[in-house]
Amino acid sequence: MTFDPSALAPLHERVSADVGREAAGVVMRFTVETMDRAARRMADGTMHLVTGDIPAMWLRDSAAQVLPLLRLGTYCPGAEEFAADVLRRQLAFVTVDPYANAFNAGPTGAGHHRDKTAMTPHIWERKYEVDSLCYPLHLAERFWRRTGRTDVFDTLYWQAVHRVLDTWETEQDHEARSTYRFQRRFAGRRGTLPRRGLGAPVAVTGMTWSGFRPSDDACVHGYNVPGNMFADVVLRGIPEIAEAAPPPPRHEDLVDRATRLHLAIDGGLREHAIVADPVLGPRWAYEVDGLGGVLEIDDANVPSLLSLPRLGYCRPDDPLYVATRKFILSTRNPYFYSGSAAAGIGSPHTPPHHVWPIAIAMAALTDPDSDVKRATIRTLLDTRGGTDRIHESFHVDRPRKWTRKWFSWAEATFCELVLDYCGFEP
């Protein structure tokens, strides 16, 4: 599509007045690139939105790219329909294969052909991540609450909800019921699952299993805690959505199923995912297996433990969250790094001592102090490593060492932070 940047002049003026022309320039470029360079109108009227320098559409990334545009309202003409068209494509992809996380624009067969999993020509990558199914449902609910429109809750939406619930219910007993397998040749532990692609052993807990994290890295333990929390949030929204736009007769059971699944996941989290910390008190683990295995970290990618209030799982002053936040923003978290240029959370997905702007921005987005938000905006502008990009990650002492030439999700999160500071409604 072709987007007219001149329509954004009032947006540039407003953001410049609050945080300066430099931050406004990043917001402007992100908006134009998302609606033009990264987007492709398909024959069915939907919008295929790539993640940046990788020519594929991730369910997670494309939702994150659209969410700040929804907040702009009249400052961004066409954003509402653009978001609806991206959402419809996401929902269609969920019905194609709920275990896939990234898709081609058509049945081209592009992607990781050497992966040992049930690939089809439509799929770029088939790493099963709970959060990839959360994001389209989250976007649909945010779209409705922002615009008041219920037309997105059509038959396709309810078909996608049906596929999501089927998948999450199956993966509550991954060992006995799941047919999903994933192996990547020569990728190491980060890119493949043990036991010939089945994953490490897990017990039945009520939570739903995930092979991979939001980073696309393999889970150490099968129950990703923030992923299950995000699932819990979107499940809680389904009954209210059904009141506004009832599902068709053949999907009448979806509301009851969503409620049962929410209660099961919540119970599993409360029973298995809370760590007894002698210093901070009870706090959340990052991954568990129901067999006693616990991973005490946080990763930079969202959903993360840091992002829980932003996702709507809890309040920022919730005692479990407060204790968890103190842990993950300290050196007790093995992926927390601090240096001369910045401090924040990194990931095993990127080199040591690299922090992610997504996590740096999320720390400010979950902090009520507006001065923290403004200072974080400045930090992210100052650590672009001699480029005009908000990168995937950068070295805490040497920001000119960075990863990903164009990573739209990171720029979307920066824009969310700017919009928060400028007072745009969520």
Residue 425 · residue 142 · CB < 8 Å: no
Say which CATH number the domain at 16 has: 1.50.10.10
Region 247-256: mean pLDDT is: 91
pLDDT in tens, 192-243: 899 999 999 999 999 999 999 999 999 999 999 999 999 999 999 999 999 9
pLDDT at 187 over 70: no
pLDDT at 262 over 90: yes
> What pLDDT is recorded for position 189?
53
What whole-number percentage of the chain has pLDDT above 70?
98
- CA angle at 207 for the pair 202 and 210, rounded to the nearest 5°: 65
Region 312-318: mean pLDDT is: 98
Answer with the residue of higher pLDDT: 113 or 97: 97
DSSP secondary structure code for residue 285 in this structure = -
> What pLDDT is recorded for position 251?
85
Query: Which residues form the domain of 184?
Result: 5-422
> What pLDDT is recorded for position 86?
98
DSSP secondary structure code for residue 116 in this structure = B
Q: Beta 57-58 vs 102-103: how paired, if at all? A: antiparallel
pLDDT category of residue 188 using cuts at 50, 70 and 90: low
Determine the Cα–Cα distance for residues 377 and 364; give it in Å rounded to an integer: 9
- 179-188, 265-274, 317-326, 395-404: which range is least confident on average? 179-188
Determine the Cα–Cα distance for residues 225 and 59; give it in Å rounded to an integer: 19
> What pLDDT is recorded for position 113?
73
Region 162-172: mean pLDDT is: 98
pLDDT in tens, 34-56: 999 999 999 999 999 999 999 99
> What pLDDT is recorded for position 52?
93
Q: Report the C-alpha dihedral over residues 53, 384, 227, 242, rounded to 10 degrees.
A: -80
> What pLDDT is recorded for position 1?
53
Q: How many domains does the chain have?
A: 1
pLDDT category of residue 340 using cuts at 50, 70 and 90: very high
> What pLDDT is recorded for position 114?
80
DSSP per-residue letters across 25-94: HHHHHHHHIIIIITEEE-TTS-EEE--BSSSSEEHHHHHHHHHHHHTTGGGSTTHHHHHHHHHHHHHHHH
Answer with the residue of higher pLDDT: 184 or 269: 269
Residue 192 · residue 115 · CB < 8 Å: no
pLDDT in tens, 363-382: 999 999 999 999 999 999 99
> What pLDDT is recorded for position 185?
78
pLDDT at 3 over 80: no
- 103-112, 170-179, 329-338: which range is least confident on average? 103-112
Please, what is the average pLDDT of the chain? 96
DSSP per-residue letters across 319-378: HHHHHHHHHHTSTTSTTEEE-SS-EEE--TTS-TTEE-HHHHHHHHHT---HHHHHHHHH
DSSP secondary structure code for residue 251 in this structure = G
Region 293-311: mean pLDDT is: 98
> What pLDDT is recorded for position 197?
96
Region 46-75: mean pLDDT is: 96
Region 131-158: mean pLDDT is: 98
Q: Which residue has tokens 């992002």? A: 307
pLDDT in tens, 17-33: 999 999 999 999 999 99
> What pLDDT is recorded for position 260?
98
CA nearest neighbour of 214 among 115, 117, 135? 135
> What pLDDT is recorded for position 392?
98
pLDDT category of residue 313 using cuts at 50, 70 and 90: very high
